[in-house]
Chains A and B, each alone.
Chain A
């Protein structure tokens, strides 16, 4: 919990709705990162992220300050993504303009890699995609993932391993077909 998070939360609770923008500014893009990994569709991702913030606002009186705001929001988002995954639409990745690039970076190569990764991740089962996004995208430990998802550590390790193995197979299959 950062000091500014706490300040914003207290202001919102006191009736200053504009203070909620501090939290949106801080966490929106990070939540979009996770939602895009899970849903692979920009419109769907924006929808669940918006739902996440609205639900967070609604639940703010029950928010426990000992928990990191980022973790709390991510927990809401994970559940929203699980619901949204059932009605997921077609593959629609983010565009080049949605990312920043390093000076001198090969944008074409980078986008090709991103597109290849997104298409491969989209082929994973929902539980493996979720585990992969939490492990690699959010950089969570397996204990943190277990607390967030309700799954056991062993099961999560297996999901990540199977996801990586599956991606590796997909990559090899793609190259063999070229």
Chain B
């Protein structure tokens, strides 16, 4: 029974602090909703949409704090400014948010593989957006990376033009995340 005297605040504190334990099912329902959200095309909060690109296979950007992205090595800088994050990002000082966009209208599945995910085909799936453009936003450390796309679990596709040859002979696109300042 709740006290009505001076003990009431202590009782309120004790009773209201008591945390329910609602079990795995309740949490699984939440994760299902989050996964559904993750399958939806990204909204402006993540990064400005850039699905109108006419590139057959294109790497787009994520630029935060004046950092440039270079795809394809020296001299291939993408124009900065058009793809700046809507707000300052907490990953600004250590990581860059990079958007990968790949046009494949007929594909059922597109995965991004690279040295940043140990070339795992199950780790970074692109989400299908408008007009057959597949998109993934990935937090990446500054420096040089290599990546490719795997289409429908079998087709290995690279963005032109800057390609490196991997051990084993496969080709991958070189990606330099550099800061011009």
Chain A residues in the interface with B (C-beta under 8 A): 10, 13-17, 20-21, 24-25, 28-30, 32-33, 36-37, 46, 49-50, 53-54, 57-59, 61-66, 94, 98-100, 109, 112-114, 116-117, 120, 132-133, 136-137, 139, 164, 167-168, 171-172, 175
Contact = CB atoms under 8 A, between A and B. Distances in A.
B82 interface: no
B9 A164 contact: yes
Given A98-B21, A100-B21, A139-B13, A168 B123 contact: no
B136 A15 contact: yes
Contacts of B138: 13-15
Contacts of A10: 91, 95, 139
A53 B32 CA distance: 11
A70 B73 CA distance: 41
Nearest to A46: B26
Given A14-B138, A63-B90, A64-B90, A168 B4 contact: yes
Contacts of A33: 16-20
B1 interface: yes
B34 A24 contact: yes
7 contacts: A14-B139, A28-B27, A61-B90, A61-B97, A133-B16, A137-B17, A167-B12
Nearest to B13: A136
For chain B, give the interface size range.
35 or more
Given A33-B20, A61-B89, A46 B95 contact: no
B3 interface: yes
A-side interface mostly: helix
Given A58-B37, A116-B2, A99 B8 contact: no
B179 interface: no
Contacts, number: 145
A132 B123 CA distance: 44
Interface of B: 1-5, 8-9, 11-13, 15-22, 26-27, 29-31, 33-35, 37-38, 43, 45-47, 85-87, 89-91, 95, 97, 112, 116-117, 123-125, 136-140
A24 B12 contact: no
A167 B165 CA distance: 73
Contacts of A25: 27
Given A33-B19, A37-B16, A61-B46, A20 B34 contact: yes
A25 B27 CA distance: 7
A57 B5 CA distance: 44
A98 B116 CA distance: 42
B154 to A, nearest CB: 21
A28 B16 contact: no
A99 B21 CA distance: 6
Nearest to B91: A13
B30 A49 contact: yes
B34 A17 contact: yes
Contacts of B90: 61-66
Contacts of B91: 10, 13, 61
B12 A132 contact: yes
